[in-house]
Structure 1
Amino acid sequence: MIQPTTLFFSFFISYLIMFISVLSIPTTNDSDIYVQCSQLYFDSMTPYESNVNSLFTSLVDSSSIYNFNKFQISSPPGYDSQNDVVYGLFQCRADLSSSNCKQCVTNSVSQLKTNCPVSKGGGIQLDGCLVKYDNSSFFGVEDNMEVLKRCGPSVGYNSEVLNRVDAALANLITGNGQYFRSCDFGSIQGVAQCVQDLSASDCQDCLSEACGRLRSECETSTWGDMYLGKCYIRYIDQGNDNHRGKNNCTSSCSKNGEGGNDSNIWKVIGYILAALAGGGLTLSATISIKNCCNKHLHKKVIKIRMELERTKNQVKQVKTEAESATKEAKEAKEKANQAEEEVARMKNNPFCGRPMPNSSYCPFKSTESWCIYEV
């Protein structure tokens, strides 16, 4: 019999090898910033799936008219609508045309369907737009958690450049109260944006937090991006040749642009091993898809995670069957031992197995010709 532990590790090694190969594929699409997928899943052909599809259609249709909108999609009467409600929104950069906004949202929805095919929630940030949906309402809720940071190469402590960066960021932060802000300060260009479901004060708090983190993390970089849950702030030194590009690494890679993909591979492997050591098979809640890493990584991770879950169930089933077989074998052995003991007792009885002329000689229960040992 194959031991459950052996079965599990054979599956694990196979999927680990596949996972490493996935992580090694380079990215080719510069417009993707990050993708997030919920770890909660819905079943196909259910009201929730229908509501998600309706939401996506509403987001795309609305993006041809507005640069921001939000929707709450519920099931028709007669369904368990409380568990089937889906919330979603989109937002484009305020400087995008209507046609470009719709194209960006359409692309985002398409990628969400590909990367998060059965997730109850997800979000995607492209250069030009944000699309997000979930099974619980997030409208108007502050979210200053860091989603992604990216830092360009260092210019060293060039006071002239760094002063211009500080001035540009200060210009973005100081109180014009707008959800979308942009500025040019010498060679420095900056842009910042909040999701428009926030209040003006919450927007200001989010951008201030993002700015502080950006200057701390990308202190001497020629460019930097900081994305929080409900806002982002970005800058770039146009007078420097080290602009953003498909070979510029993100926060999962090293800041000097070297060795990022390899370090990301071993980091994720470490997460898997740590989860296994703790007795679990669940991967981390969110894996961001960044420019120097594979844009289809999250989709592959979902498939791997589902396969690992099935493997865990198989291991559990094998273990249960093994325990049941062990129990049955133990019971059978005990019965065999009892039978052997019974036979031994019968053999030690001088009257058993032959006719008895007088039943009074048998100290046991008796039939006409057989002595039966009483236990």
Structure 2
Amino acid sequence: MPHYLDNNCPNSTFATNSKYKSNLNTLFKSLSTKATTNPFPPGGFYSTSTGNGTSDAVYGLFLCRGDQNITGCGDCVKTATTTDLQRYCPNSRVAIIWYDECMVRYSNESLYAKMAEDPSSSFMNAKRYEGNQTQFFEIMWNTMNRLAGETANNRTAKKFTTKMVNITRSVTLYTMEQCTPDLTPNDCSRCLMKAIGLLETMRGARILMPSCYVRYETYTFYIGAVNYSLPLPTTSNITIHGDRGKLHILIP
């Protein structure tokens, strides 16, 4: 099962028996089928719409994390479209849901190639780095900023990059950044730099936006980082609502 993170559903709603609902169901089926059927969409990204040319048109897309295969991506998108979006956002005309493995969103307005920074959601580790904090955060900021340029100018189907950097002999920084592949390099860069600017100086953090996300940790959290896996810390989750979206503090 995918690891659920957060969702956002504005108050705009539709009637249960409306044409918009029917179009949304068709959209959900299309997204789920595309994510679970070969050929796997390039870059783990797919955008589509139903009811085009009418006032009940629905636009939707999914983006799977760049290290996910068709199984991980498909399970995530299927869970979002068949269960979670209908549970968390019943009758919402606009919604977005994030998991570790994917992001799914839909709207009554076109989404394709439109950079969106809002709504956003932030996850911060409650613990600070116990070593040289000045060194840690200088390396973190420099790495994240360099990675933004690499991600924005990535010429493959995925605007997805990762990087490992040694802080000390015993501490490694793992970083990841991704944009939806429909963005221009300039829009991808703008989105990533906005997200990086929201990072707090903690031991680990991530920022989720509709068009991009960034994350860094001192443990491996993505596939292919190393040839073994370290256990993720057990966490409880505190959610704080503020002007910048939601802030989640992860407490080991």
The answer to whether the Cα contact below 8 Å between 2:2 and 2:75 also exists between their aligned partners in 1 is no
Gaps of 5+ in 2: 167-171, 221-229
User: Structure 1 residues 160 and 288, CA, compared in 2 at 3 Å: closer, same or farther?
Assistant: closer
CA drift of 1:45 comes to: 2.1
Amino acid paired to 1:172: L
Does residue 101 of structure 2 align to residue 101 of structure 1? no
> Which of 208, 219, 229 does residue 238 from structure 1 map onto?
219
The answer to whether the Cα contact below 8 Å between 2:2 and 2:79 also exists between their aligned partners in 1 is no
Matches within 5 A, 1:36-75: 36-64=8-36, 65-66=40-41, 67-74=44-51
Deviation sequence 1:286-342 (CA, Å, 0-9, x none):
x869687xxxxxxxxxxxxxxxxxxxxxxxxxxxxxxxxxxxxxxxxxxxxxxxxxx
Q: Which has the higher strand share?
A: 2
The answer to whether the Cα contact below 8 Å between 1:90 and 1:131 also exists between their aligned partners in 2 is yes
CA drift of 1:168 comes to: 2.8
Deviation sequence 1:227-265 (CA, Å, 0-9, x none):
2331111000129x9x65431545x1xxxxxxxxxxx7x
Q: In structure 2, what is the Cα distance between the partners aligned to 1:141 and 1:249?
A: 31
Structure 1 residue runs of 4 or more that deviate by more than 2 Å after TM superposition:
155-164, 243-246, 287-292
Q: In structure 1, what is the Cα distance between the partners aligned to 2:128 and 2:107?
A: 38
SS at match of 1:196: coil
User: Structure 1 residues 146 and 155, CA, compared in 2 at 3 Å: closer, same or farther?
Assistant: farther
Aligned Cα root-mean-square deviation (Å)? 2.9
Q: Which has the higher helix share?
A: 1
2:182 corresponds to which residue? 197
Number of paired residues?
222
Matches within 5 A, 1:178-197: 178=154, 179-186=159-166, 187-197=172-182
Q: In structure 2, what is the Cα distance between the partners aligned to 1:45 and 1:172?
A: 46
Amino acid paired to 2:90: P
Gaps of 5+ in 1: 1-28, 76-80, 253-263, 268-283, 293-375
CA drift of 1:32 comes to: 1.8
2:4 corresponds to which residue? 32
Please, what TM-score do these two structures have when normalized by structure 2? 0.78
1:223 corresponds to which residue? 204
Does residue 138 of structure 2 align to residue 166 of structure 1? no
Indicate the percent of aligned positions where both proteins have the same amino acid. 24
The answer to whether the Cα contact below 8 Å between 2:124 and 2:247 also exists between their aligned partners in 1 is no
Q: In structure 1, what is the Cα distance between the partners aligned to 2:10 and 2:24?
A: 13
SS at match of 2:120: strand
Please, what TM-score do these two structures have when normalized by structure 1? 0.54
Q: In structure 1, what is the Cα distance between the partners aligned to 2:5 and 2:249?
A: 7
2:169 corresponds to which residue? none
Matches within 5 A, 1:273-292: none
User: Structure 1 residues 228 and 163, CA, compared in 2 at 3 Å: closer, same or farther?
Assistant: same
Larger Rg belongs to: 1
2:89 corresponds to which residue? 116
Deviation sequence 1:27-78 (CA, Å, 0-9, x none):
xx99222111131111122211110000000001111222111011017xxx
Deviation sequence 1:96-147 (CA, Å, 0-9, x none):
0111110010112220011112111111010010100011112222222361
Does residue 236 of structure 2 align to residue 247 of structure 1? yes
Q: In structure 2, what is the Cα distance between the partners aligned to 1:84 and 1:144?
A: 25
User: Structure 1 residues 230 and 30, CA, compared in 2 at 3 Å: closer, same or farther?
Assistant: same
2:109 corresponds to which residue? 136
Q: In structure 2, what is the Cα distance between the partners aligned to 1:202 and 1:180?
A: 14
The answer to whether the Cα contact below 8 Å between 1:168 and 1:189 also exists between their aligned partners in 2 is no
